[in-house]
Amino acid sequence: MSRKSVLTMQLDKDNESALYSHDDASNEEEEEEDDDDYHHNFNQDSDDEALPKSYNSAHFSASEDKFMKEHDLKAKACEALHNNGTNNSSQPPFSPSSPKNSFIKRRSSIIDMPQRFHHVNAQASTRSNIRNDFASDPNILPEDYPSEELIEFFSNVKKCLEFRHKYLDISLQAPESINPKNQPDWEIYPPPPKPTYKSKNRFNQLPKEDGQDVNEREEFDFSKIEIPEILDSKYYYSLDDEDVYQVHEKKNDKKIVKIPNLHDYYSDLNTISRISSDGPTKSFAFKRLQYLEAKWNMYYLLNEFEETKQSKRNPHRDFYNVRKVDTHIHHSACMNQKHLLRFIKYKLKTEPNKQVIFRDGKILTLAEVFESLNLTAYDLSIDTMDMHAHTDTFHRFDKFNLKYNPIGESRLREIFLKTDNFIDGLYLAELTKQVMEDLESSKYQMTELRISIYGRSIHEWDKLAAWVVDNKLFSHNVRWLVQVPRLYDVYKKNGNVKSFLDIVKNLFEPLFEVSLNPKSHPKLYVFLQRVIGFDSVDDESKAERPIQSRKYPPAGEWNTTINPPYSYYLYYLYANIASLNHLRLKNKMNTFVLRPHCGEAGDPEHLISAFLTSYGISHGILLRKVPFIQYLYYLDQIGLAMSPLSNNALFLTYDKNPFYNFFKKGLNVSLSTDDPLQFSYTKEPLIEEYSVAAQIYKLSGVDMCELARNSCVQSGYEAVIKKHWLGKNYLKGGIEGNDIEKTNVPDIRVGFREDTLQCEKDLIDYYNKLATAEK
């Protein structure tokens, strides 16, 4: 039985009428009628006030209203994909009919497709001109008529970014080009090896040329280094009222840099915190981030094939032979568990009578240590070592720290994984050399090892520098960061320090001394040439006792057993690094950056402290909870060294990790291993990290190469080396700074990232100009 339903509606306006009909027929001939029989003549620039009173969406059922809107959107989407921005006719490509003929007006209840489809030109060497005038294309703007709330939002964004830029400029952490080590005349000793193939496989060795091994590289020789001597320096340093080291000129006693004091720092911190907790601000930032993700999805849908084509056309390069840097890895856990097990067994068999530790009033040999544990070399296994953090460490950072002890014994950690012990860190030095050898064999993998300075003694720096220099721990594939554990409360209870000022002095006084006169600490001077910056480490999930910001005492007055909050630690690291950098810049020495652990757990406000003071951070997974701060991190492209395998074992399961979400939005993310000893199973932990992410998130080859490129940009390697890795113009950024032959990242991908970021920055400028005009 055939049935036909007709829905009609008569509208009167200026003697015009419109008839909407929706016909459902049972036979196939009526179903195959021309699609053009059904038209929506909508004027998308209308508003509710222009609607006739007789016409209201309430006259339609919910399903019919939804059908009409979906049909309209599908028609526009199909037309957009069909024309692909090539329609140069006067009629807009997405409008079913000319707006002049439209007699039904509607409120724009959906996000309209853009009037012009923007396609990134892969061959363009300069920035595309699609952003010439926002006012000419209202679809790009969040609102046709900007509200005061919207203008205020973008004004706050600009204010927060200006705070960050002020702090980074004062501390000389940015721009990258200001660092003396990034100047063309900076010498790296030992120099990087020649670009030759090196393999441990005896079947893949290159023949020797003129009796010399082509893989031979220059060994480090301390006597070949010229240590400058500055006898009569123009500067001196002293502690100010905030217990921050300040550098003065001798002739006029003037400070060479004005550093924000504690009150100013916490005032700026609270300002950003107040803005980020505002409801409308959070909502709009969340929508902007959603827009960025949707923009990526559309881009990838349309350009995946083109990216693959350009990547295949690029000779020689692939994921395995682009440079990738492990931007977050701890030195005492840089080897995998099998490597450490074999090393312990080897030493137990070859050096059983070597005296290795002083315990219980006597010196013990390696054999005696294992006899006291009732173990032999044969008994040792991966299971016996029990150092993997995969089962019982979730949200238990205390248990995770115990995983550093082989077989659960702290004495074995002291023997094999400490630099300052009875054997002067000999075993750890040998392990480090073996790790360096593996990295040099892989050629394309680099690491930035975190090594600890605790701040308990003023001699720690000299001992650490002597350990590195005397054991010749120099490699083209390795740079160092100094990590400072936040353990004041432990030192205070043990009687190591009297106040927080003791830690500040022990951390920074030797650095100011060697920066004033390198001859005072020659080995430290040499070691610091390979140091990139500072890190702040510990369990972020520890509860912090709230203290009013105006009552924070200076470091000398912090003498209770309470551990200072995260933001307090970061201030004193930042403030002293700022003074130190200005002194080192005056004496043409390399400067340092601050790249702390941040946003792994605990209070999300840690991310605001790092936003103000730090060049980049490690982890950052809590950014998913603070959309406004996440948007700020995106706008300033702050480096995030993320470690999903580490998070999976400690704080956040892999399926909930925001890494891929951040990557799609365009945040500056890279992959890192954190602690291969606890989390990795293979000899190449960084490749393992990439491979797991590729399997879980379905990353393409281009995605992997973009992450590798990000890691190189985030790293603290010298500019002359980065130019070899990324291209000679990498500092320019965008398409102009990209070299696909070096990075294997197509220009179309780099252009999309640059274009999207610049559009957001242009929005900020546009609305801030409106705010200025209104004033």
Give the other-Cβ count within 10 Å of 493's Cβ.
9
CB 740 within 8 A of CB 747: yes
Helices (H), 592-733: 606-613, 627-635, 644-650, 659-665, 676-679, 685-697, 701-714, 719-726
> In sequence order, which residues have a C-beta less than 8 Å from that of residue 190 and are 6 or more positions away?
217, 218, 219, 220, 474, 476
Cα 761 off chain centre by: 19
Strands 362-365, 445-452: pairing kind: unpaired
Instruction: Kindly provide the residue ranges of all beta strands, DSSP E only, lying in 546-604, ordered along the sequence.
Output: 593-594, 597-598
Token pair for 149? 């709330």
CB 624 within 8 A of CB 643: no
Cα 457 off chain centre by: 32
Residue of 330, 597, 606, 619 marked catalytic: 619
Closest CA to 733 of 758, 708, 715, 716: 758
Closest CA to 505 of 436, 470, 548, 556: 556
Alpha-carbon torsion, ordered 77, 81, 87, 93, to 10 deg = -10
Closest CA to 643 of 610, 686, 611: 686
Does residue 727 come out as left (phi exceeding 0), alpha (psi in the -120 to 50 range) or beta?
left
DSSP calls for 283-319: HHHHHHHHHHHHHHHHHHHHHHHHHHHHHHHSSS--G
- Extract long-range pairs of 12-17: CB within 8 Å, 24+ residues apart: 12/52, 12/54, 13/52, 13/103, 16/103
Q: How far apart are CA 447 and CA 3, in angstroms?
A: 73
CB 190 within 8 A of CB 474: yes
Exposure string of 729-763, with b = 16+ CB inside 10 Å and e = fewer, is ebbeebbbbbbbebbbbbbbbbbbbbbbbebbeeb
> In sequence order, which residues have a C-beta less than 8 Å from that of residue 508 and are 6 or more positions away?
245, 576, 580
692, with CB counted inside 10 A (0-12, 13-18, 19+), is: middle
> In sequence order, which residues have a C-beta less than 8 Å from that of residue 163 and are 6 or more positions away?
268, 271, 272, 612
Q: How far apart are CA 475 and CA 721, in angstroms?
A: 13
Q: How far apart are CA 319 and CA 702, in angstroms?
A: 8
Strands 478-485, 445-452: pairing kind: parallel
Strands 616-619, 597-598: pairing kind: parallel
Q: Which residues pair with 485 in a beta bridge?
A: 537
Task: Examine the residue annotation and report whether 339 is marked as an active-site residue of this protein.
Answer: no
Q: How far apart are CA 618 and CA 460, in angstroms?
A: 25
Q: How far apart are CA 464 and CA 457, in angstroms?
A: 12
DSSP calls for 306-366: HHHHHHHHSSS--GGGS-EEEEEEEGGG-S-HHHHHHHHHHHHHH-TT-EEEEETTEEEEH
Exposure string of 325-335, with b = 16+ CB inside 10 Å and e = fewer, is bbbbbbbbbbb
The length of the chain in residues reads 775
Token pair for 311? 């990547």
Peptide bond into 406 cis (omega under 30): no
Q: How far apart are CA 19 and CA 23, in angstroms?
A: 12
Q: Which residues are catalytic?
A: 619
